[in-house]
Amino acid sequence: MKEVNIKTSDVYTELMARLKYPISERFRRVLQKLVTPEEGKLLLELPAEPAELAQKSGLDEEAVQRKLQEFMERGLVIRTSKGLFCFARDMTQLHDSNLSSAEKWIDTELLDLWKEFRDGEWLQTMAGGLGDSYVQFIKVLPAWKAMERSPDLGELLPEEDIRELIRGADPVAVVSCTCRRSIRKCDLPLDVCLQFNRGAEYAINRGAGRRLSAEEAIAIAGESEEAGLIHTWASGVSRRLTAICNCCRDCCDIFAIGIEVGTIEQILEKSRFRAEVDQDLCTGCQDCVERCFFEAIEMKDSPPSKKLKATIDEGKCFGCGLCAVVCEPEAITMKLVQT
């Protein structure tokens, strides 16, 4: 390979700069695990078409094609519709696409390095970067099973009905949840991260995602609700639907920043709905209490009943519907609070 004008010792520093992340020893260790210095030099030559990269690197074009395909499978590069290969846009994109890659590209050492980086600095960096701003780039989509149990809702908007969002996308795919895969604090379902349109094409083309029919994807959304996972859509990042996450409280970056650091209201937009309890139907089983990520449900005296009954603090409720899904006597329904 021809000498590209970057010293080997500086490749990882250059990669961090390209990913818009400050110099970090933990992130360097992730990058060193992900790419050799020679591979790093190739990435720094992007964006490029294979022929151009072959010329720059001195490799033959076929070898470059193979390497770029491998980079794509490992979640390091994306290919634009014009056939141009680009390195990950930033550290977050690299994290998400690398960790959702097929099993053969992921080992425990890599998962541990990402986890060490995330726990050791990334969460604090992200939380600190928010300051006092309310960016709310992620929104809660209510559980469709909760909406089905709530008779008086009227028409849902297409962008808040997960089933309509799924039916309107083509193609649809599922990949592993990157947070649960690396953090490993819970045993909730892993293969539930739904991808749509461009996001699904990318996942399928690089062997990371399994193509789904709309009804299969709706079933996965329903199973996620039953398991206690919240649907979230990063609609503030792109209005074009590329993914819907099914998030847990223990591993998810969003909830780790939001709940542990106390900035959840700054980043997460509530749905237009809130849960309410019909106390005559509530048996006091408490199944809903544990389900709520936001501690919005308390068991309180409800005379003349001798049992404690569930009560919702509407101010804390984000309208996810998970409590309604688990409530066997269907004492919890969702009500519209914003038009």
Applying CB under 6 A, which residues contact ligand SF4?
Answer: 177-180, 193, 245-248, 251-254, 275, 277, 282-288, 291-292, 294, 296-297, 310, 312, 317-323, 326-327, 329, 331-332
Dihedrals phi, psi of 161, to nearest 5 degrees: -105, 105
Q: Is residue 213 packed enough to be buried (19+ CB in 10 Å), middle (13-18) or exposed (0-12)?
A: exposed
Query: Are 45 and 57 a contacting pair, CB within 8 Å?
Result: yes
CB of 232 to ligand SF4, least distance (A): 6
What do you get for the CA distance between the two ends of the chain, in Å?
Answer: 61
Nearer residue to ligand SF4 within complex by CB, 64 or 331: 331
Task: Provide the 10 A C-beta neighbour count for residue 303.
Answer: 5
What's the rounded Cα separation, in Å, for the pair 85 and 78?
6
Nearer residue to ligand SF4 within complex by CB, 10 or 287: 287
DSSP secondary structure of 204-261: HHTTS-EEE-HHHHHHHHHHHHHHT-EEEE-TTT-SS--EEEEE-TTT-HHHIIIIIH
Nearer residue to ligand SF4 within complex by CB, 40 or 142: 142
CB of 78 to ligand SF4, least distance (A): 18
* Residue 274: closest CA among 312, 246, 329: 312
CB of 54 to ligand SF4, least distance (A): 35
CB of 14 to ligand SF4, least distance (A): 28
| Beta-ladder partners of 111 | none
Query: Are 166 and 217 a contacting pair, CB within 8 Å?
Result: yes
- Structure tokens, 263: 């900035």
Nearer residue to ligand SF4 within complex by CB, 57 or 246: 246
CB of 92 to ligand SF4, least distance (A): 11
Nearer residue to ligand SF4 within complex by CB, 48 or 110: 110
CB of 194 to ligand SF4, least distance (A): 9
* Residue 31: closest CA among 123, 120, 117: 117
Nearer residue to ligand SF4 within complex by CB, 61 or 250: 250
CB of 55 to ligand SF4, least distance (A): 38
Nearer residue to ligand SF4 within complex by CB, 156 or 312: 312
